[in-house]
Amino acid sequence: MSKKPTPVSKAAKALEAASRPVGAVGHSIERAFKSAAKQAQQFSSPAPKAAQAKPAKAALPVSPLAVKFPKMPPIAGVQMATARAGFYKHERDDLLVMTFPDGASCAGVFTRHGVGSAPVDWCKRHLEMTKGEGVRALVVNAGCANSFTGRPGADAVRRVCSAAGKRFDCRQRDVMVASTGVIGVLLDDSKIVHKLPDIEHKLAEDGWANAARAIMTTDTFPKGAHAVAEIDGVKVKISGIAKGSGMIAPDMATMLAFVVTDAAISPAALQNLCSLYTRSTFNAVTVDGDRSTNDTLLLFATGQSGAPRISRAGDRRLADFRDKLEAVLMDLAQQLVRDGEGATKFIKVTVTGAESHASARKIARTICESPLVKTAFAGEDANWGRIVMAVGRADEPVDRDSISVKFGPLVAAQDGLVSATYDEAKMSAYMKKKELEVSVDVGMGRGSASIWTCDLTKRYVEINGDYRS
């Protein structure tokens, strides 16, 4: 997915134009909820003895679109460990901790959902406070989103960060947190605090696959991506993991992603890159059109590679790094779609000829999120009429008599009519593929955009109908 390096002046202008100060963490994305059942006082009591673990719950069938977890070597300066904190009744790791060295930089992009979570609030506030400098630890739990939990939820996050700060010899504001799971359930922070001593003794430089598994919820496979780039002749590594399967849509597509590099990049430059490439990756995928309260992307730079420190996102020495970072983020984002709940088709929808790129994105997103379109894909039906329906429903400027629709190389409609070369047999054969491409031209201008999505099957209803059971 690498691109040719862009001339210095153009790269600098493009990046700097898309950038915003770190003080506005997460607000550079485009228009980017299930009640607290416990009282905060219960968490002041000693952690209960671990209950007898139940046998592992029958796993969901692995998505037919799954990809193999890549080989991911250690990143200099990063240590990690996982543990079973007990947020799930069955036996599985549901807690991840990462630690970073002095001098590490951090940047983040977060959901702009109207009902944000306590972990998101914490990270946004403290990244703004620290300007992305001095982050030393990351604590992630699965099984409880700690969202829509009010002040008790915020207090639970603070206690986790305070305990982690003491354990890893840093300030509580230097600890980032993320949670995923059922909304409206208050986080039992004692479960996390109780496991920190064990976690500390298990910290190691390797363990990306275990880390990716620990943060899964309805995911059917762990998601990871890795790349090697060069900065001024020095090789640097970029590795990341993500989780997400349902409740995925643009505006930070329930999604968590954590990416680490050993490059030395200033927090401001790191934030600019993080914000910019979220637009073309995590904000360009959709599974079901529902956005999460907890979406979080955190990008860390340890500075341990030996490469020179870069302070500007547009620095020409970052050309290869920029390409590789975008590729890692795109790989992770597309894996979310491949693991879409009940998905059997991986679909790329490209809209061209729009009045603007923003208009093209809206049309593409409307197509991708139409239940009628998605169920047609599930039934392997090249129902181009549903595509046209979605185009018009986007309420964007289109030329009806110029619209064309293609499924892969096959033309279904052209100039506002069914194509003279339309062949039902060929269309049916194409629709049996696991990976599909749909191209739509709306005849208005030069705007274009691509969005990746999946089909909508009966399995999606089954998974979400049984989610809390």
Give the catalytic positions in this structure.
254
Give the 3-state DSSP-derived string for the chain, with helices as H, strands as E and coil as C: CCCCCCCHHHHHHHHHHHCCCHHHCCCCCCCCCCCCCCCHHHHHCCCCCCCCCECCCCCCCCCCCCCCCCCCCCCCCCEEEEECCCCCCECCCCEEEEECCCCCEEEEEECCCCCCEHHHHHHHHHHHHHCCECCCEEEEEECCCCECCHHHHHHHHHHHHHHHHHHCCCCHHHEEEEEECCCCCCCCHHHHHHHHHHHHHHCECCCHHHHHHHCCCCCCCCEEEEEEEEECCEEEEEEEEEECCCCCCCCCCCCEEEEEECCCECHHHHHHHHHHHHHHCHHHECCCCCCCCCCEEEEEECCCCCCCCECCCCCHHHHHHHHHHHHHHHHHHHHHHHCCCCCCCEEEEEEEEECCHHHHHHHHHHHHHCHHHHHHHHCCCCCHHHHHHHHHHCCCCCCHHHCEEEECCEEEEECCEECCCCCHHHHHHHCCCCEEEEEEECCCCCEEEEEEEECCCHHHHHHHHCCCC
